[in-house]
């Protein structure tokens, strides 16, 4: 029986599951699209993990992160529920020695994390604008009918980058169309787009922050060699992309779960059986006050397991007594 | 005459006592909610700052309950708040509400107009009565602010999560039902005793965060998405740079007399910002420095999107962060009511502060202190 730790990152675009052993070796790594159905994604992810492992394993602890971390936690029963920033920081620290700066670009958000003496010292996350995120690149690639996988490679072929306004996704797009109509070739435009995104990221998130090396670039967009190159040019320093750049959040969760188990805590993991359970989500609108909270109920095989979404806590508090009454 | 006024944190308790002591009929707008915001957004210019939108929502909800007069204070500070009264009057007129607005601006030399307005609002010309009521209102406001300060201390330490909020929320419900200075004071005292009796967990490792920023945003819990509760539940004790009672004291009593209680704050801000640039930018910086000096673990700035003075402060605060080696987080609020992203930032910030503190402690142990 091998001791393992499970980490799950339920993000807006992708859901990642990582299974790690006692020696921090990764046994299984799954990257799937969330497709707006987080519960289904978690179940699919676990199913794939289960089909990949041959030996007998014993899950000692589970950690969840990402915007769907609370939902995932109620479904699988996790021991550690952590925000993405901490999870990403922990993961990078474990795989790149002495890392000082983490550039992270995901599907819907981008962040910068600064570390000092091995602890997170400062961070920033995009607030009101999505111009510098993966979704934007996805969209532009689709518009040019290029596979997003080839996007970065094409940028490297460019000899003369075109300047595109990167301040805002909407303006960037119209600027890009204008440049296309002038007859600039595709590689140059893609390179311009990469430069614009990096410029936006650095002006927006990294404003006033000191970017010291080693610099790590992770998140789904780190697969894009074009963006990596643009970062290197803008910062004038080498950029590391860790081997598991796309699942760093889930990886950080594994490490946090390992830490949790090392303290002698028992796991709340409900086992791989949950992939066979049917989950229902019911929504009710509470009309007791003008806030009209949309309360969400999670049912596992018809049994109430969790409730949230209320501002006052009235409904979430009720869950425990309701479960007892039902049982 | 049925008078109403906009919400701003605990301010309504003081205003209620002031007007009730003078025998004025009042209507307190319902607690700010999504409905309030939706109504406000509907009738306000798109690019105006968030407080105005919430104010308009408050007025319309009160008018629907029968209010016919609005009393608001103004500020002489060069920020959009200075135009609120005029703009709001126009907006309400456009929306089809013909309503009286009584503006209580700090008197800039023109005491005649100021007193005329006060006489109109209070329905009396007896200055002794007015001053007596004002004093009572100020006392109540101070007491509610003290009560809130107590929740800041108790919330991160309570043994059973939610105990403090249970009493504090009940207070805000009950205070609408009682009338006048005596009854309100009694209720505050009772709530105080209840909250004091909440059992504490002595083993909690509580960290301290100072909240600075635009006054309305940090005082009105609906707009700041209940930042005090969220942080309290994460085990954080907070303090805020600005409070209603402090603002009232400063602008209505001290300022006209050429005095100020903010000397220390301005002196703290001086190395970074020498003069007033509108709003509370100078106070934001000054308090950030003061919090850092009094060993707070971190600073959070909150402001509504597009608030000019706070944007100035935001670009200065990273320097304060460096000079005093204290982490700083900036949160910008707007019409969004989705809380997931907000919560992620707060959680990550608290994590960061805790790890830092642990490391500092470790270093101290190693070096033998």
Q: What confidence score (pLDDT) does residue B192 get?
A: 93
Q: Among all residues of chain B, which has the CA nearest to that of A310?
A: B339
Q: What confidence score (pLDDT) does residue B75 get?
A: 65
| pLDDT-derived band at B342, boundaries 50, 70, 90 | confident
User: Half-sphere exposure of A8 toward its Cβ, with a 13 Å CA cutoff?
Assistant: 34
- For residue B101, the distance in angstroms to the closest alpha carbon of chain A comes to 26
Spatial contact of A38 and A10, defined as CB atoms under 8 Å apart: yes
Contact B36 A290 (CB under 8 A): yes
- Same-domain check for residues A237 and A154: yes
Domain of A201, CATH number, reads: 3.30.420.40
B355 touches chain A (CB under 8 A): yes
pTM equals: 0.83
Q: What confidence score (pLDDT) does residue B343 get?
A: 85
- pLDDT score of A326 more than 60: no
- Same-domain check for residues A72 and A130: no
Range of the domain at A148: 97-241
Q: In what order do the strands lie in the sheet with A239-240?
A: A119-125, A110-116, A101-105, A215-218, A239-240
The verdict on residue B361 lying in a domain is: yes
- For residue B190, the distance in angstroms to the closest alpha carbon of chain A comes to 22
With 0-12 / 13-18 / 19 or more C-beta atoms within 10 angstroms meaning exposed / middle / buried, residue A65 is buried
The verdict on residue B170 lying in a domain is: no
Q: What's the pLDDT tens digit per position in B264-305?
A: 888 899 999 988 888 889 999 999 999 999 999 999 999 998
Contact A208 B305 (CB under 8 A): no
Contacts of A292 in chain B (CB under 8 A): 33-35
Q: Which residue among B34, B321, B327 sits closest to A291, beta carbon to beta carbon?
A: B34
* Total number of domains in chain B: 2
Residues of chain A whose beta carbon is less than 8 angstroms from a beta carbon of chain B are 67, 82-86, 109, 117, 119-123, 125, 127-128, 208-209, 289-292, 311-313, 317
Q: What confidence score (pLDDT) does residue A305 get?
A: 78
The verdict on residue B51 lying in a domain is: yes
The verdict on residue A92 lying in a domain is: no
Contact B33 A128 (CB under 8 A): no
B359 touches chain A (CB under 8 A): yes
The verdict on residue B300 lying in a domain is: yes
For an interface test with B, which of A91, A206, A308, A311 has the most B Cβ atoms less than 10 Å from its Cβ? A311
Q: What confidence score (pLDDT) does residue B363 get?
A: 65
Q: How far apart are CA B86 and CA A62, in angstroms?
A: 57
Q: DSSP secondary structure string, A63-104? A: EEESTTHHHHHHHHT-SEE--HHHHHHHHHHHHSTT--EEEE
* CA A11 to the chain's CA centroid: 5
Mean pLDDT, rounded, for A273-279? 82
Q: Which of residues 304-333 of B touch A (CB under 8 A)?
A: 305, 315, 318, 321, 327-328, 332
The per-residue pLDDT of chain B, averaged, comes to: 87
- For residue A238, the distance in angstroms to the closest alpha carbon of chain B comes to 26
Helix (H) or strand (E) holding B101: strand B100-104
| pLDDT-derived band at A210, boundaries 50, 70, 90 | confident
The verdict on residue A178 lying in a domain is: yes
- Same-domain check for residues B118 and B257: no
Q: Which of residues 45-104 of B touch A (CB under 8 A)?
A: none
Q: What's the pLDDT tens digit per position in A153-200?
A: 888 888 888 888 766 777 778 888 888 888 888 888 888 888 888 888
Mean pLDDT, rounded, for A77-92? 89
- Same-domain check for residues A209 and A185: yes
Q: What confidence score (pLDDT) does residue B28 get?
A: 93
- Same-domain check for residues A109 and A183: yes
Strand segments, DSSP code E, in B250-348 are 298-304, 328-333
- pLDDT score of B225 more than 70: yes
Domain of B292, CATH number, reads: 3.40.50.11900
Is A246 in a helix, a strand, or coil? helix
Contact A85 B36 (CB under 8 A): no
- Same-domain check for residues A266 and A139: no
Q: How far apart are CA B366 and CA B362, in angstroms?
A: 6
The per-residue pLDDT of chain A, averaged, comes to: 83
Q: What confidence score (pLDDT) does residue B290 get?
A: 93
Mean pLDDT, rounded, for A116-137? 75
User: In this structure, what DSSP letter does residue B199 have?
Assistant: P
Q: What confidence score (pLDDT) does residue A327 get?
A: 47
- Same-domain check for residues A135 and A233: yes
Spatial contact of B282 and B266, defined as CB atoms under 8 Å apart: yes
Q: Answer whether the bond into residue B345 is a cis peptide, omega within 30°.
A: no
Give the count of beta carbons closer than 10 Å to the beta carbon of residue B67.
25
Contacts of A204 in chain B (CB under 8 A): none
Range of the domain at B321: 206-366
- For residue A15, the distance in angstroms to the closest alpha carbon of chain B comes to 17
- For residue A318, the distance in angstroms to the closest alpha carbon of chain B comes to 13
Characterize B214-224 residue by residue with b for buried, 16 or more Cβ atoms within 10 angstroms of its Cβ, and e for exposed: bbbbbbbbbbb
Contacts of B30 in chain A (CB under 8 A): 290
Contacts of B352 in chain A (CB under 8 A): 85-86, 119-123
Q: What's the pLDDT tens digit per position in B179-218?
A: 989 999 999 999 999 999 999 888 888 999 999 999 899 9
- Same-domain check for residues B109 and B221: no
Q: How far apart are CA B269 and CA B271, in angstroms?
A: 6
Q: Among all residues of chain B, which has the CA nearest to that of A206?
A: B318
Q: Name the domain boundary from B105, B125, B145.
A: B125
With 0-12 / 13-18 / 19 or more C-beta atoms within 10 angstroms meaning exposed / middle / buried, residue B95 is middle
- pLDDT score of A128 more than 70: no
Contact A292 B34 (CB under 8 A): yes
With 0-12 / 13-18 / 19 or more C-beta atoms within 10 angstroms meaning exposed / middle / buried, residue B14 is buried
Listed residue (B60, B14, B63, B65) closest to B36, CA to CA: B60
Q: Name the domain boundary from B91, B110, B125.
A: B125
* Total number of domains in chain A: 3
Contacts of A83 in chain B (CB under 8 A): 343-344, 347-348, 351
Q: What confidence score (pLDDT) does residue A198 get?
A: 87
- Same-domain check for residues A104 and A200: yes
- For residue B203, the distance in angstroms to the closest alpha carbon of chain A comes to 18
- For residue B353, the distance in angstroms to the closest alpha carbon of chain A comes to 8
Listed residue (B219, B221, B231) closest to B31, CA to CA: B221
- Same-domain check for residues B304 and B212: yes
* CA A43 to the chain's CA centroid: 17
| pLDDT-derived band at B111, boundaries 50, 70, 90 | confident
- For residue A123, the distance in angstroms to the closest alpha carbon of chain B comes to 8
- Same-domain check for residues A272 and A283: no
Q: What's the pLDDT tens digit per position in B154-166?
A: 999 998 888 898 8
- Between B39 and A107, where is the model more confident? B39
Domain of B113, CATH number, reads: 3.40.50
Q: Among all residues of chain A, which has the CA nearest to that of B31?
A: A290
| pLDDT-derived band at B368, boundaries 50, 70, 90 | very low
Contacts of A116 in chain B (CB under 8 A): none
Q: What confidence score (pLDDT) does residue B369 get?
A: 45
- Same-domain check for residues A48 and A118: no
The verdict on residue A39 lying in a domain is: yes
The verdict on residue B91 lying in a domain is: yes
The verdict on residue B252 lying in a domain is: yes
- Same-domain check for residues B359 and B256: yes
The verdict on residue B314 lying in a domain is: yes
- Between A256 and B78, where is the model more confident? A256
- pLDDT score of A85 more than 70: yes
Q: Name the domain boundary from B125, B158, B190.
A: B125
| pLDDT-derived band at A17, boundaries 50, 70, 90 | very high
Contacts of A317 in chain B (CB under 8 A): 162
Q: Among all residues of chain B, which has the CA nearest to that of A209?
A: B318
């Amino acid at each position: 029986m091998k001791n393992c730790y499970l980490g799950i990152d339920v993000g807006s675009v992708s859901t990642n599951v990582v299974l790690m052993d006692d020696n921090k070796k990764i046994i299984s790594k799954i990257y799937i699209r969330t497709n707006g159905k987080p519960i289904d994604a978690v179940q699919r992810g676990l199913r794939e993990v289960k089909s990949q492992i041959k030996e007998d394993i014993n899950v000692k602890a589970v950690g969840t992160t990402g915007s769907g971390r609370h939902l995932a936690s109620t479904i699988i029963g996790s021991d550690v529920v952590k925000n993405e920033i901490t999870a990403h920081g922990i993961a990078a620290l474990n795989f790149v020695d002495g890392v000082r700066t983490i550039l992270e670009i995901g599907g819907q958000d981008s962040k910068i994390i600064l570390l000092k003496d091995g602890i997170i010292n400062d961070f920033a996350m995009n607030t009101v604008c999505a111009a510098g995120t993966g979704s934007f690149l996805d969209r532009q690639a689709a518009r040019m009918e290029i596979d997003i996988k080839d996007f970065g490679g094409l940028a490297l072929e460019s000899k003369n980058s075109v300047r595109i306004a990167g301040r805002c996704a909407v303006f960037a797009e119209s600027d890009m169309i204008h440049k296309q109509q002038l007859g600039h070739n595709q590689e140059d435009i893609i390179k311009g787009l990469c430069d614009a995104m990096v410029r936006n990221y650095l002006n927006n998130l990294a404003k006033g922050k000191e970017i010291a090396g080693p610099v790590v670039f992770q998140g789904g967009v780190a697969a894009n060699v074009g963006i990596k190159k643009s970062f290197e040019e803008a910062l004038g320093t080498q950029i590391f992309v860790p081997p598991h750049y796309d699942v760093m959040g889930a990886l950080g969760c594994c490490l946090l779960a390992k830490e949790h188990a090392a303290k002698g805590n028992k796991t709340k993991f409900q086992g791989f059986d949950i992939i066979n359970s049917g989950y229902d989500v019911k929504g009710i609108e509470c009309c007791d006050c003008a806030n009209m909270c949309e309360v969400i109920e999670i049912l596992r095989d018809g049994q109430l397991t969790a409730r949230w979404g209320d501002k006052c806590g009235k409904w979430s508090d009720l869950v425990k007594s309701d479960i007892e009454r039902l049982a | 005459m049925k008078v109403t006024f906009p919400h701003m944190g605990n301010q309504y308790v003081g205003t209620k006592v002031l007007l009730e002591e003078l025998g004025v009929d009042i209507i307190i707008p319902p607690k700010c909610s999504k409905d309030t915001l939706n109504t406000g957004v509907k009738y306000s210019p798109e690019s105006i700052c968030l407080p105005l939108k919430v104010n308009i929502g408050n007025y319309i909800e009160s008018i629907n309950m029968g209010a016919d007069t609005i009393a608001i204070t103004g500020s002489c500070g060069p920020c959009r708040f200075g135009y609120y009264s005029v703009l709001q009057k126009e907006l309400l007129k456009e929306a089809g509400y013909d309503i009286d607005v009584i503006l209580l601006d700090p008197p800039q030399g023109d005491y005649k107009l100021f007193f005329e307005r006060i006489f109109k609002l209070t329905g009396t010309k007896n200055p002794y009565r007015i001053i007596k009521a004002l004093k009572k209102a100020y006392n109540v406001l101070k007491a509610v602010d003290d009560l809130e300060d107590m929740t800041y201390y108790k919330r991160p330490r309570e043994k059973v999560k939610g105990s403090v909020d249970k009493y504090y929320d009940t207070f805000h419900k009950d205070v609408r039902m009682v009338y006048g200075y005596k009854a309100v004071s009694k209720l505050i005292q009772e709530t105080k005793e209840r909250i004091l009796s909440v059992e504490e967990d002595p083993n909690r490792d509580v960290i301290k965060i100072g909240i600075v920023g635009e006054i309305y945003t940090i005082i009105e819990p609906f707009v700041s998405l209940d930042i005090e509760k969220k942080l309290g539940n994460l085990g954080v004790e907070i303090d805020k740079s600005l409070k209603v009672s402090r603002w009232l004291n400063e602008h209505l009593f001290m300022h006209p007399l050429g005095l100020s209680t903010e000397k220390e704050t301005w002196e703290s801000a001086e190395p970074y910002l020498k003069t007033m640039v509108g709003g509370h930018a100078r106070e934001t910086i000054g308090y950030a420095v003061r919090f850092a000096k009094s060993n707070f673990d971190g600073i959070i700035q909150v402001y509504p999107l597009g608030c000019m003075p706070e944007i100035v402060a935001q670009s200065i605060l990273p320097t304060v962060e460096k000079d005093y080696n204290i982490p700083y987080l900036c949160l910008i609020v707007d019409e969004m009511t989705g809380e997931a992203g907000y919560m992620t930032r707060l959680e990550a910030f608290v994590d960061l502060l805790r790890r830092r503190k642990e490391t500092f402690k470790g270093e101290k142990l190693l070096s033998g202190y």
